[in-house]
Structure 1
Amino acid sequence: MDGTLIDTELHHAKALRRTLDHFNVERDSSSEDLKKRFQGVADDKVFEFYKKELNTSVQKFLEIKNQKVIDIIDSEKEIITKEIRNLLQSLKLMGLRISLITASERKVTEFILQKEKVKELFDLVLTREDSTETKPSPRPYLDALNFYKITTKEAFIFEDSPTGLEAARASEIPFAKVTWFSNRA
């Protein structure tokens, strides 16, 4: 979702910076640095990276970080581009089933889908909490195949991050690396 459907990688990085500040983690990492370092990485893995400095539980870290990202996204007028919205609507009109497989938490994912009024375009939404493993494991994609009872040749993945691309490759589902947000400020 983040970086593929919507350009929220910097929003997540800003929320992470604010979360680290909340816990008084003093590092010289700007939001841009955090974006580069943790693009596509699930928040529980980010927590592991800072665990010794945080002095809190993963649940509390996620709760605070998720609220900060929601607050940041809520301040934006619109985060799904017209082109992405048109693509989703066109795929739906073609009769294709659309799934959203994300390493984001359900709370953030649901907020974004509701805010942007696109939830109805997805036949399946799998978040980090819905699978036994998260990207870079192929498990979330394999769970989607199982849900639809289809083979790898009957699915297609759009991915942007190294973590997501690793998961897509390992799933053996055909995929494309998308870069439509890579040149944006």
Structure 2
Amino acid sequence: MPPAILFDMNGVLVDDEDLHFQAARRVVEGMGLSMSGEEYGAFFFGRTDREGFGDFFARRTPSVRQDVAGVVAEKSRAYSRLAASGLRACEGAAELVRSLDRAGFPLGLVTGAIRAEAEAVLALLEIGDLFRGVVTAEDVSAGKPSPEPYLRGASRLGREPRECVVIEDSPSGVRSARAAGMACIAVTSTYGARDLAEADLVVARLTELTVETIKVMAA
């Protein structure tokens, strides 16, 4: 029985971190605040928007109670407007998903993005019907690096953690997969190889991965 493959989304299937940054920055600028690229990376990379904005406001406006849920919703609307014309698939992403599906691997998506954003990406790549289980920010109480997202992903596919292989691009995602007891492949689309060293295999791009490579990892 082939292992289940659990994909992260941002930085793995779609190259959209800059769109997320632009959307987040526009929202906080509308509140009279600023956000640098370094701040966005520190607070948001590999995390849910709920966690990112929560920590950002705790640092920048500690004496003001912010409506984090409302800010997340506004950021999602800003992202959707930007994504309508600027969303780009990662090289080889759709092809890898389709080849794994043809080979009989059950596929899942585990992302810190909200469901509306995940649906937009899957629609762009025209692969939404190939994923048997999707876990988004709304489905978990703790985001990556907690093991909860990947454990929930395995559960939705009816698999044990040892029967899963994760494909990630962030240190927090790799730690989440490892904490869940899963093998992990990391792609250096967002971070360097040194930052992803906890993964079982690190590749520069998805086009380096084949069905046979993943079968060997899961053996």
Output aligned runs, 1:61-72, within 5 Å.
61-72=71-82
Where does residue 2 of structure 1 map in the other structure? Answer: 10
Q: Does 1:59 align with 2:69?
A: yes
Deviation at 1:131, TM superposition (A): 2.2
Where does residue 39 of structure 1 map in the other structure? Answer: 45
Deviation at 1:68, TM superposition (A): 1.0
Do the aligned partners of 2:94 and 2:125 also contact (CA within 8 Å) in 1? no
Percent same amino acid at aligned positions? 28
TM-score normalized by the length of structure 2: 0.75
Where does residue 98 of structure 1 map in the other structure? Answer: 107
Q: Does 1:79 align with 2:85?
A: no
Output aligned runs, 1:1-185, within 5 Å.
1-26=9-34, 29-30=35-36, 32-37=37-42, 38-51=44-57, 53=61, 56-76=66-86, 79-81=88-90, 83-180=92-189
- Note the alpha carbon deviations across 1:46-72, whole angstroms, 9 max, x for none: 121233537541121011110111111
Unpaired runs of at least 5, structure 2: 1-8, 193-203, 205-219
CA RMSD, 1 decimal: 2.1
Local SS of the residue matching 2:33: coil
Q: Relative to structure 1, is the Cα distance of residues 55 and 161 closer, same or farther in structure 2, using a 3 angstrom cutoff?
A: same
Deviation at 1:35, TM superposition (A): 4.4
Q: Relative to structure 1, is the Cα distance of residues 19 and 140 closer, same or farther in structure 2, using a 3 angstrom cutoff?
A: same
Instruction: Tell me which amino acid in the other structure corresponds to 1:155.
Output: C
Local SS of the residue matching 1:5: coil
Higher strand share: 2
Greater relative CO, 1 or 2 (CA 8 Å, sep 6+): 2
Question: When the two structures are aligned, how many residues end up with a matched partner?
Answer: 180
Instruction: Tell me which amino acid in the other structure corresponds to 2:75.
Output: K
